[in-house]
């Protein structure tokens, strides 16, 4: 048996996983980095993105590419708005107290899950990919849609990076992240920056959710796994570090793909969880995090 095709397939699968993971985890990391909020409801924003994609697919007639394009823009916007409201109505009121935010985001997560269940029911819903074209490799055909996922993820992450490093909004976010009080002293409306960051983080999860539906299915409980995996990535990569989060997502996505193809998905999950345990023991600030900067 020739191993090369399997290796290629596993790598591709791993990269697709890594892309989705990278988007989701960066959202979580951004929110934690700037606001010091551990957002347990993050997986639900991902789920809402997926459900939004399904809703668009059922409501909008015509070619699946049209409803998909609409979903890719509208679902994240609605999810972002929802997140900003949650920030204003709940997180701001409890003053971003660390324990209270964990408990209340758990609450938000249940509310979103149950509302989705009550509205759309318990069934898993499939969505057609926007295009079916297969890319032929010598050994197998591979869905071009999966390459599209990788492309969108890379483009979005590059945009995020540029925004954080080179835009005024990014500078305000970084200033808020480093020192909230000093940011206030320079007229930066920290409350608004927080709402924007929380919305932005949720939107990244929602985009990942939209991207993933044609591959898997939309379901009200689908947020669990990405939440857990994002926590793993964020811890391994170093809390609040963008490059660390990207590197960890690729590392974990790839190893997940390889282990799943060659062994079993369960082993893959065991391996990533083990990695987290090791990182926490030997390098608690994360593989790429700087010691001393929380």
Partner 1 sequence: MSVMTVEGFDAFYGRSQALRGFSVELRGGEVLCLLGRNGAGKTTALKAIMGTIRRTAGRIVLDGRDLSALPAYEIPRAGIAHVPQGRRLFAELTVAENLEIGLSTRKSSRRALDYALGLFPVLTERMHQRSGTLSGGEQTMLTMARAMCIEPAVILLDEPTEGLMPSAIAGIREAVIRLRDNGVAVLLVEQRVDAVLPVADRVAFMDHGEIKARFTIDEVRNDLSLLHRYVGVGA
Nearer to partner 1, 13 or 87 (CB): 87
150 binds partner 1 (CB under 8 A): no
Q: Which of 175, 206, 212, 268 binds partner 1 (CB under 8 A)?
A: 175
Nearer to partner 1, 154 or 188 (CB): 188
Q: Closest distance between partner 1 and the C-beta of residue 283, in Å?
A: 20
Stretch that binds partner 1, among 147-155, 173-181, 244-252, 268-276 (CB under 8 A): 173-181
Neighbours of 266 (CB within 10 A): 10
In the stretch 186-215, what mask flags binding to partner 1 with x, by CB under 8 A?
xxxxxx------------------------
171 binds partner 1 (CB under 8 A): yes
Stretch that binds partner 1, among 22-30, 153-161, 181-189, 212-220 (CB under 8 A): 181-189
Structure tokens at 10: 């596993």
Is residue 16 a contact partner of residue 81, using CB atoms and an 8 Å limit?
A: no
Separation CA 158–CA 156 (nearest Å): 5
Residues forming beta bridges with residue 125, ordered by sequence position? 218
Q: Which of 71, 172, 197, 248 binds partner 1 (CB under 8 A)?
A: 172
Stretch that binds partner 1, among 125-133, 154-162, 185-193, 231-239 (CB under 8 A): 185-193
Nearer to partner 1, 159 or 182 (CB): 182
Q: Closest distance between partner 1 and the C-beta of residue 292, in Å?
A: 11
123 binds partner 1 (CB under 8 A): no
In the complex, which residues of this chain contact partner 1 (CB under 8 A)? 168, 171-172, 174-175, 178-179, 181-191, 293
């Amino acid at each position: 048996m020739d191993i090369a095709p399997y290796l290629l397939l596993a790598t591709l699968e791993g990269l697709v996983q890594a892309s989705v993971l990278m988007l989701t985890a960066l959202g979580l990391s951004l929110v934690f980095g700037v606001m010091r909020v551990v957002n347990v409801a993050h997986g639900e924003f991902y789920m809402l993105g997926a459900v939004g994609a399904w809703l668009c697919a059922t409501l909008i007639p015509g070619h699946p590419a049209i409803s998909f394009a609409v979903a890719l823009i509208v679902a994240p916007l609605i999810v972002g708005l929802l997140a900003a409201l949650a920030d204003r109505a709940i997180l701001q009121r409890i003053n971003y107290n660390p324990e209270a935010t964990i408990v209340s985001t758990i609450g938000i997560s249940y509310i979103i899950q149950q509302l989705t269940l009550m509205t759309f029911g318990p069934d898993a819903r499939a969505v057609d990919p926007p295009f079916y074209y297969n890319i032929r490799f010598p050994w197998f055909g591979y869905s071009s849609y999966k390459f599209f996922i990788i492309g969108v993820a890379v483009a979005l992450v590059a945009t995020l990076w540029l925004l954080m490093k080179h835009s005024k909004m990014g500078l305000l976010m970084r200033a808020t992240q480093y020192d909230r009080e000093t940011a206030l002293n320079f007229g930066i409306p920290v409350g608004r920056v927080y709402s924007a960051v929380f919305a932005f983080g949720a939107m990244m999860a929602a985009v990942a959710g939209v991207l993933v539906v044609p591959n898997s299915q939309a379901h009200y409980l689908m947020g669990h796994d990405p939440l857990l995996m994002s926590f793993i990535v964020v811890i391994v990569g170093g809390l609040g570090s963008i490059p660390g989060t990207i590197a960890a997502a690729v590392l974990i996505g790839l190893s997940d793909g390889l282990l799943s193809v060659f062994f079993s998905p369960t082993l893959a999950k065991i391996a990533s969880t083990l990695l987290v345990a090791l990182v926490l023991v030997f390098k608690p600030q994360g593989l790429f995090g700087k010691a001393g900067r929380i």
